[in-house]
Amino acid sequence: MLLLSGLLLATQINQPAWAGTFPGPNGQIAFDKDIGGDDPDLDEIYTMNEDGSEQTQLTDNDVDDESPSWSPDGEKIAFESDRDGPKEIYVMDADGSDVTRLTNSANNDLFNINPSWSPDGEKIAFESDRDGNHEIYVMNADDGSDVTRLTDNDDDDREPDWGTNTSSPDDNGKKDKKNDH
């Protein structure tokens, strides 16, 4: 457990501004788009090719779906949504189908946000205030079970990034195009 906690904290809690700009393992970028209209804060999840072409809307409802995170194999996307009340973590197939809720806040004042996949795709780290403070937790990616609190202090710990949402440190901010698929 200490190794996992150290790995999470070593990758920095704050994602760099460019983190969402690199394609996932399937060569696509997942992002949330403010679709505006009567509710300027209404966000939905989209994917697109790395050149900006073929934007595809994956979610479509009257609540926010935000903070998409590709699974390492490119088959699934974890995201946060308030479709069932407070912000919760969900997983869906890369085409937007088979949406599964992973977290369940018993109290509508609580939230679970900012999912980040483990490099092996078995776990998802996330931020929650379920214990009264912003802390980092980890859970099984397939069903949300085995929730474990990784941080415990008086400060707010936010936005975990397991490193699977960004290029590797030795890429110097560039993706190897031949390995994007």
Q: What CATH code is carried by the domain that includes residue 114?
A: 2.120.10.30
Is residue 7, in this structure, part of any structural domain at all? yes
Please give the structure tokens belonging to residue 72: 């390492």
Phi, psi of 127 (to 5 degrees): -100, 140
Whether 171 and 147 have beta carbons less than 8 Å apart is answered as no
Is residue 176, in this structure, part of any structural domain at all? no
Please give the structure tokens belonging to residue 13: 């809690």
Counted residue by residue, the chain has a size of 181
| 76-81 vs 100-101, strand pairing mode | unpaired
Is residue 144, in this structure, part of any structural domain at all? yes
Is residue 178, in this structure, part of any structural domain at all? no
160, burial (CB in 10 Å: exposed 0-12, middle 13-18, buried 19+)? buried
Is residue 108, in this structure, part of any structural domain at all? yes
Looking at residue 144, its pLDDT comes to 92
pLDDT category of residue 132 using cuts at 50, 70 and 90? confident
d(CA 45, CA 62): 12
pLDDT category of residue 28 using cuts at 50, 70 and 90? confident
d(CA 43, CA 66): 6
Show the DSSP H helices in the chain as ranges. Answer: 2-10
Residue 113 lies in domain:
2-17+28-167
Amino acid at 175: K
Is residue 161, in this structure, part of any structural domain at all? yes
pLDDT category of residue 125 using cuts at 50, 70 and 90? very high
| 123-128 vs 135-140, strand pairing mode | antiparallel
d(CA 161, CA 35): 26
Whether 44 and 55 have beta carbons less than 8 Å apart is answered as no
Is residue 22, in this structure, part of any structural domain at all? no
| 43-49 vs 28-34, strand pairing mode | antiparallel
Total of domains in the chain: 1
Is residue 23, in this structure, part of any structural domain at all? no
Least confident of 83-87, 91-95, 98-102: 83-87
